[in-house]
A = this chain, B = another copy of it.
């Protein structure tokens, strides 16, 4: 009997061990399959995303006609789709940013490229900047007057020089050697912006580009403008770009935040990409775009929390404007303390949003 029990134990033990081995093998196989599936899924599901803005300011429903709103929405959609198409066809985030911004630069609706505001001399001085999140490579041009698409010049400076920032006629001389489209400064003229200049000069006021309430705009207090884009590509690389026509009636070669890396524009794969618009001086003093990134890096803020905190810092100093940002996982954020901001995003999850007026939850 004892022998029988002993044999039974042995047999049971062997079966148990065999079962255990089989179970382990199964587990290993299934782990391998899981891992392979995850990898396939993570490539397939690696998020693509693009967010744009077309400037912040006193943009209110009551000052907007249905036609104007439709025109803005259509152009934001066009820019969004152009940038997203680059991402969807495997292009990189810098090219996506370029495509989206080019559409807005070429449209007279925004204060960048065609439709840029006039400076005090009746000319246009444009600024732009680009930054890559993977390498921290960056390029910028400031105070250029003859470059059709300043964002293209910024990308050229990033790729073809060891410099970050070129300015004025020197920048133009450099980029003209590389087949960048140059135009007469009159190309940027639009009737609407000329009227704004005349009104501003009449009042000796420096006005914002999207203001519908010129009369209440204090001198020099509002320096909106700017279009911008942040994109995340299939390789997980972020890029941020910003382009602007500056301020109406601008004087003295003023440089705002748009061409300044860390102020109006920043990208870092460790954290986020950011593009700003608003009273540029406050974005310079707070290093708004770099501050948002550091709040994520060193304070473990989400991209939403980071923008909220930076807008709070800007407001505390007396400034206003807006920011768009995207983290390395494609989470989009925007925030502003103005009445409105032209803004839109599109993601590979299928989500898409175009907004103009007050923030909604």
Chain A contact residues, CB within 8 Å of chain B? 136-138, 142-143, 161-171, 173-174, 220-221, 251-256, 260-263, 266, 280-281, 284-287, 290-291, 294-295, 298-299, 317
Contacts and interface: CB of A to CB of B under 8 A. Distances in A.
A252 B164 contact: no
Contacts of A285: 136-138, 164, 261
B162 A221 contact: yes
A164 B256 CA distance: 8
Contacts of A143: 167-168
A166 B253 contact: yes
Contact of A168 (B167, B260, B317): B167
Nearest to A262: B287
A136 B263 CA distance: 14
24 contacts: A137-B285, A142-B167, A163-B252, A163-B281, A164-B281, A165-B254, A165-B255, A165-B260, A166-B253, A166-B255, A167-B167, A167-B168, A167-B253, A167-B254, A170-B251, A170-B252, A170-B253, A170-B254, A174-B251, A174-B252, A261-B284, A261-B287, A294-B294, A298-B298
Contacts of A281: 162-164
A163 B223 CA distance: 10
A295 B298 CA distance: 8
A66 to B, nearest CB: 36
A253 B169 contact: yes
Top 7 A-B residue pairs of the complex, sorted by shortest distance between their CB atoms: A170-B253, A298-B298, A170-B252, A167-B253, A262-B287, A174-B252, A165-B255
A255 B142 contact: yes
A122 to B, nearest CB: 14
A261 B291 CA distance: 13
A194 B142 CA distance: 28
Contact of A262 (B167, B174, B221, B263): B263
A137 B281 CA distance: 9
A140 B201 CA distance: 26
A150 to B, nearest CB: 14
Given A165-B284, A167-B253, 7 more contacts: A136-B317, A164-B280, A167-B255, A170-B254, A261-B284, A294-B294, A298-B298
A291 B290 CA distance: 9
A160 to B, nearest CB: 11
Nearest to A167: B253
B171 A252 contact: yes
A109 to B, nearest CB: 26
Nearest to A220: B162
A253 B253 CA distance: 13
Contact of A286 (B136, B256, B284, B286): B136
Q: Which of A255, A260, A262 has the largest number of chain B CB atoms within 10 A?
A: A255
Contacts of A163: 252, 254, 281
Nearest to A206: B162
A142 B287 CA distance: 18
Nearest to A284: B164
